[in-house]
Amino acid sequence: MAYIFKTQCRINVAAALATSLMLIFTPARAAEKLADLKQKALAGDYQAQRNLAFGYSDKFSDQNKNPVLACAWRMVILTTEQADETDMSNYNTYCGKLPPGLLSIAQMKAELLLRRIDTLQQ
Protein backbone atom coordinates (compact mmCIF):
# COMPACT_ATOMS: atom_id res chain seq x y z
CA MET A 1 0.00 0.00 0.00
CA ALA A 2 2.82 2.41 0.89
CA TYR A 3 4.52 1.65 -2.44
CA ILE A 4 1.34 2.45 -4.38
CA PHE A 5 0.93 5.71 -2.45
CA LYS A 6 4.54 6.76 -3.15
CA THR A 7 4.18 5.89 -6.83
CA GLN A 8 0.88 7.75 -7.09
CA CYS A 9 2.37 10.73 -5.27
CA ARG A 10 5.34 10.83 -7.67
CA ILE A 11 3.01 10.65 -10.66
CA ASN A 12 0.91 13.51 -9.26
CA VAL A 13 4.00 15.64 -8.61
CA ALA A 14 5.33 14.92 -12.10
CA ALA A 15 1.97 15.80 -13.66
CA ALA A 16 1.75 19.03 -11.67
CA LEU A 17 5.28 19.97 -12.68
CA ALA A 18 4.58 19.23 -16.35
CA THR A 19 1.40 21.30 -16.23
CA SER A 20 3.13 24.26 -14.61
CA LEU A 21 5.97 24.10 -17.14
CA MET A 22 3.46 24.07 -19.98
CA LEU A 23 1.90 27.22 -18.56
CA ILE A 24 5.28 28.94 -18.34
CA PHE A 25 6.55 27.89 -21.78
CA THR A 26 3.57 28.46 -24.03
CA PRO A 27 4.11 29.90 -27.52
CA ALA A 28 2.38 33.11 -26.43
CA ARG A 29 4.67 33.42 -23.41
CA ALA A 30 7.74 32.74 -25.57
CA ALA A 31 6.65 35.39 -28.08
CA GLU A 32 6.06 37.82 -25.22
CA LYS A 33 9.52 37.12 -23.82
CA LEU A 34 11.04 37.59 -27.28
CA ALA A 35 9.22 40.91 -27.70
CA ASP A 36 10.51 42.03 -24.29
CA LEU A 37 14.02 40.94 -25.22
CA LYS A 38 13.89 42.92 -28.49
CA GLN A 39 12.59 45.98 -26.65
CA LYS A 40 15.41 45.80 -24.09
CA ALA A 41 18.01 45.26 -26.82
CA LEU A 42 16.76 48.30 -28.73
CA ALA A 43 16.88 50.29 -25.49
CA GLY A 44 20.61 49.55 -25.34
CA ASP A 45 20.64 46.67 -22.84
CA TYR A 46 23.94 44.89 -23.53
CA GLN A 47 22.90 41.50 -22.13
CA ALA A 48 19.62 41.59 -24.04
CA GLN A 49 21.57 42.33 -27.22
CA ARG A 50 23.83 39.35 -26.56
CA ASN A 51 20.87 37.08 -25.84
CA LEU A 52 19.08 38.23 -28.97
CA ALA A 53 22.19 37.67 -31.11
CA PHE A 54 22.58 34.20 -29.59
CA GLY A 55 18.96 33.37 -30.38
CA TYR A 56 19.43 34.37 -33.99
CA SER A 57 22.67 32.34 -34.19
CA ASP A 58 21.41 29.19 -32.49
CA LYS A 59 17.62 28.91 -32.54
CA PHE A 60 16.44 29.63 -29.02
CA SER A 61 12.93 29.47 -27.59
CA ASP A 62 10.47 30.98 -30.08
CA GLN A 63 13.19 32.86 -31.93
CA ASN A 64 13.88 31.80 -35.51
CA LYS A 65 17.47 31.32 -36.60
CA ASN A 66 18.61 34.24 -38.78
CA PRO A 67 22.37 34.44 -39.44
CA VAL A 68 22.15 37.95 -40.95
CA LEU A 69 20.37 39.40 -37.91
CA ALA A 70 22.71 37.49 -35.60
CA CYS A 71 25.67 39.13 -37.30
CA ALA A 72 24.01 42.56 -37.30
CA TRP A 73 23.43 42.35 -33.55
CA ARG A 74 27.03 41.15 -33.05
CA MET A 75 28.17 44.31 -34.87
CA VAL A 76 25.94 46.44 -32.65
CA ILE A 77 27.36 44.76 -29.55
CA LEU A 78 30.91 45.63 -30.60
CA THR A 79 30.02 49.34 -30.42
CA THR A 80 29.12 49.12 -26.72
CA GLU A 81 31.43 49.92 -23.83
CA GLN A 82 30.80 46.48 -22.34
CA ALA A 83 32.03 44.57 -25.41
CA ASP A 84 34.84 42.16 -24.60
CA GLU A 85 36.98 39.49 -26.26
CA THR A 86 34.11 37.01 -26.33
CA ASP A 87 32.03 39.48 -28.31
CA MET A 88 34.82 39.88 -30.85
CA SER A 89 35.18 36.11 -30.99
CA ASN A 90 31.42 35.72 -31.55
CA TYR A 91 31.57 38.35 -34.30
CA ASN A 92 34.42 36.50 -36.03
CA THR A 93 32.68 33.14 -35.64
CA TYR A 94 29.20 34.10 -36.78
CA CYS A 95 29.83 36.95 -39.19
CA GLY A 96 32.81 35.14 -40.67
CA LYS A 97 30.47 32.42 -41.95
CA LEU A 98 28.44 34.84 -44.06
CA PRO A 99 29.14 35.29 -47.77
CA PRO A 100 30.09 38.87 -48.76
CA GLY A 101 26.59 39.76 -49.99
CA LEU A 102 24.93 38.72 -46.74
CA LEU A 103 27.67 40.39 -44.71
CA SER A 104 26.86 43.67 -46.50
CA ILE A 105 23.19 43.24 -45.63
CA ALA A 106 24.15 42.57 -41.99
CA GLN A 107 26.21 45.79 -41.96
CA MET A 108 23.23 47.77 -43.28
CA LYS A 109 20.94 46.21 -40.69
CA ALA A 110 23.46 46.98 -37.93
CA GLU A 111 23.55 50.64 -39.01
CA LEU A 112 19.74 50.78 -38.93
CA LEU A 113 19.68 49.14 -35.50
CA LEU A 114 22.26 51.59 -34.15
CA ARG A 115 20.22 54.54 -35.42
CA ARG A 116 17.11 53.11 -33.81
CA ILE A 117 18.93 52.52 -30.52
CA ASP A 118 20.32 56.09 -30.56
CA THR A 119 16.84 57.47 -31.25
CA LEU A 120 15.29 55.51 -28.38
CA GLN A 121 18.04 56.55 -25.95
CA GLN A 122 17.60 60.27 -26.61
pLDDT digits (tens, 9 = 90+) for 56-87: 998 766 678 999 999 999 999 999 999 999 99
Answer yes or no: pTM beyond 0.85: no
Over the range 30-49, which residues count as b (16 or more CB within 10 Å of their CB) and which as e? Answer: eeeebeebeebbbeebbebb
Mean pLDDT over residues 83-105, rounded? Answer: 97
